[in-house]
Structure formats: C-alpha cells, structure tokens
Amino acid sequence: MKINLSKTAHFQTQIIPIAQNSNSKIVDFSGKKTETALRYEGESAKIYCGVGEQKDISSRVLRSAVARGVQIALEAKRSQVSLILSDKEWLNDELASSCIEGALLGSYKFSKYKSEPPVLLQDLEIITETLNENEVKKTKSICEAVNYTRDLVNENASTMTPEQMAKEAKTLGEELSMKVTVLDEKEIEHQKLGLIQAVGQGSVYPPRLIIIEYNGNQKEEQKIAILGKGITFDSGGQNLKPSGSIETMREDMAGGATVLGIMKSIGTLKPNSNVIGVIAAAHNAIGSTAFFPGDIYRSYSGKTVEICNTDAEGRLVLADAISYCKDKYSPSTIVDLATLTGGVMVAFADVVAGLFSNHDKVAQDLFEAGEQSGERLWRLPLYQEYSESLKSDISDLRNLSKFKRGHASSIIGAAFLKEFVEDVPWAHIDIAGTAFNEGSAKAEIPQFGTGFGVRLLVNYLLKQ
C-alpha cells in the first residue's frame, strides 16, 4: 500500500471525520459516534464519519471511525482514498496518527484462500498540514506488523507449524539484520527443556524454541525479553477438546505471532534499545506418543511438574522458555503474551486482556501503553494463596490448582508462570479473549486474528 502526504485531495473517494458540534451542513448527518454517511457528487464519493462531541474525541474514537469509513470505501470498490485531516481544530498529531491507524488496520482482509479476492486499499492520501513523513512511516510500519501478525494467526495450522514459525523468524532476521537462534527437537531434548519436549512429543510437527535478538544499543546491558506462546494447534492432547472448542485452535499461537510482529516492527524502526523475542512453538497433538495426564515431567529449571490436564499446555512451554531466557540472556524485564485461559474471557469477554505482574512499574507502563494503543489491559492479583494451590503431593508443582475446577483459572495460569520467573521484573498478558474475533469485524478489529498486542508492546518498548 502506498501512503503519501498532501495539502489537497487528488482521489475521488474522500473520508472526512466530522465532530458532532462542528455546525456542518451535511443533510441527514449529525456527526454522532459510529454514524457514517456516503454522499456521491458526480463520480466522487464523500464518506463522512461521525466522531461525537469534540470534548469526547479520543484516539480510540477516531481510529474506529476512520476504519468504518475505509470499509465503506472498499465495499464501494474504491481502492484509492483521500483521508481529510486538514481544517480540524480539534486534531493534534497523536489523534491524526490514530486516524491513519484506523485506515490501515480497518482495511485488512485475509483473502489468501478466496477465489475472488476482495478490493483492497492500494493508495492512501493523507490531507494534512501538520503531520510529517517520519511520523507517518512509523505508524505505517507498526500497522504493517499488526497485519503481518494477523496473517500468521489466520494461516492454516497445517501450514503454520513450529518449523514454519522458525522460518518466519529467520526471514525477519535476514531482512532486518537480527540474530535468530532456533532450537530444534534434538536441541530441545539436549538442553533438557522437558516441558516443551513433553507438549510437542505427540506431533509429527516437532517443537521449536525460537530466539530473535535485536541489539540497538551496544553500550546498554539492559534488555527486555518479549515471550510468546506458540501452540500452532491445540487439540487439548489426551484431555481432548470437544467440538465447539477445537475448531479455531489455530489461534493458540497468537502470542508467538505477536512476538514476530513486534520484532518485525522493532527491526524496522530501530530504536536505541535491546529487545529479545522468544517463541515457544509446539503442536499439542493427540496420539500414541502424546504426553500423559498424571505423569511428572522435569522442567528446564529443574522443577518437576505433575500434569493434571494436558490442555493446560501453554503454561508448560512458556515456563521452559522463561527459564531458558533467564539463564542464557539475563533480561532486565520479561513480558509474555499468551492465549492462556478461557477464564479471562469470562472476566473480560473480548474487550480487555488480563494483566498480571510482580512489578508495579512494569504493570503501570504496560497499562498506559494499552490505553494509548486502544488495546486495553486490566491487572488481576497474584496473592500467595494462588501459588500455594499449585503445590503437588508428588512433585514440585502441578499445572492446575487444587481449587474447584475452573476457579480463578486465569490467575492460576499466571501464578504457575510466576514460579519460574522468580525475582525478574515480569508481566504476563492473557490475550485469549482479544487475539481472535469469531464474530463479524468491529471497526479496526477484523474477523479472526486481530493482531492484539503488537501496537501495545511496540509503544511500551519505544518508551523504555
């Protein structure tokens, strides 16, 4: 997609955000939030997008309004669009960038397997008197990384295997000059990553541990590690998922896909910092070699884990990834993203992701980054009682608590990971509700893979 800045519109299709109290004279249009209107003037099409009262205008409102406008343009088979951001006294650079995000994110379609692909946005012209090229390039880079993440999540599970995720990482490394290390199944066994090995051993698609290193500041020792759960398909293992729950389980690698998107964006923007991306990739299969409920497996850290349910596998691969990352790379901060628990959807539906942390500043910084990006987080507690409930009678830990089945399930998943983090500043983001949208598109949030977390984490990393 081409993006250019201009002071006058050259395309016949124009998207125009309108405030409710702007005294506009558009017939049958008031400018209320979510209101849109398409008006034809000869061959030209003007798409008005209501953004509500000026006092209530926010990045979130503008992002969604422009996304709706772009979708109307694409439905009308218009691939060249002018976005009119001039002469808006209520618009600043941050809000203008949100409008661009709305256009780029709202135009996304996964059409790889369509015989007749839809019309896509080819040219976006920004009519502005204030935005500069660098800000537009930055916004474009981040949104392209989001859409790349969406593509990875939407791909067939038989294609996006652990090995393919490793190939994606290697491609990014070659294109953006980042070091990529991949541990295959033999190296995973040799390094005694026993939990990743257990989860992946039942599949013909063997597991991978993928590490991507971005070194933007050779003088700085501190580095932030971003970890992702990359379960490329989750059958539930021997605790097999039922119909109604298993059909969309290609989404269970969304945390790993988000890490790839983040590293793509960081490698392009090249901030003055050091970032490590780690993906624990495995296919949790049902089969004759699948790991057993009731058995005990030894983690990379040396702690033993009783498997109470093979469908609580994401915390297992992440636990080994956390311990290995700590041991080999000594990160100053760890943030992990995972489609970890259905319980987080009980709490927040698909609106907010769960945030857990052992460090108040890390949690606050992530919360603020989410408010800015519109990818909202809410922090939940990690009291000692939750950790106590994970103590096993026959091993060091169990992968489910002793609470009644399903109780505090999201907190328990995070509490399990906390046992392997120990004293490193850390946050866990449970994106099970926000990473995949089974319903229809909602403004800038498409159907299926959403790319949730890429903008949030890039914002967070750029501010550190």
Q: Measure Cα distances from 233 to 124, 139, 158, 347 in Å.
A: 36, 31, 9, 24
Q: Cα dihedral sign for 49, 55, 60, 63?
A: positive
Asked if the model's pLDDT at residue 87 lies above 80, the reply is no
Banded pLDDT at 25 (limits 50, 70, 90): confident
Q: Which residues are catalytic?
A: 241, 315
**Segment among 18-22, 72-76, 151-155, 355-359 with least mean pLDDT:** 18-22
Walk me through the domains of the chain, giving residue ranges and CATH numbers: 2-128 (3.40.220.10), 142-463 (3.40.630.10)
Q: What percent of the chain has pLDDT over 70?
A: 100
Asked if the model's pLDDT at residue 378 lies above 90, the reply is yes
The pLDDT assigned to 24 comes to: 72
Asked if the model's pLDDT at residue 18 lies above 90, the reply is yes
CA atoms within 13 A on the CB side of 453: 34
CA distance 317 to 460: 25
CA distance 103 to 1: 11
Phi/psi at 3 (5° precision): -125, 130
Q: What is the mean pLDDT of the chain?
A: 95
This prediction has a pTM of 0.96
Banded pLDDT at 23 (limits 50, 70, 90): low
Residue ranges of E strands in 117-243: 123-127, 179-183, 208-215, 224-234
CA distance 334 to 64: 31
Banded pLDDT at 406 (limits 50, 70, 90): confident
Residue type for 151, please? D
Banded pLDDT at 213 (limits 50, 70, 90): very high
CA distance 301 to 320: 7
The pLDDT assigned to 86 comes to: 85
pLDDT digits (tens, 9 = 90+) for 275-298: 999 999 999 999 999 999 999 999
pLDDT digits (tens, 9 = 90+) for 224-275: 999 999 999 999 999 999 999 999 999 999 999 999 999 999 999 999 999 9
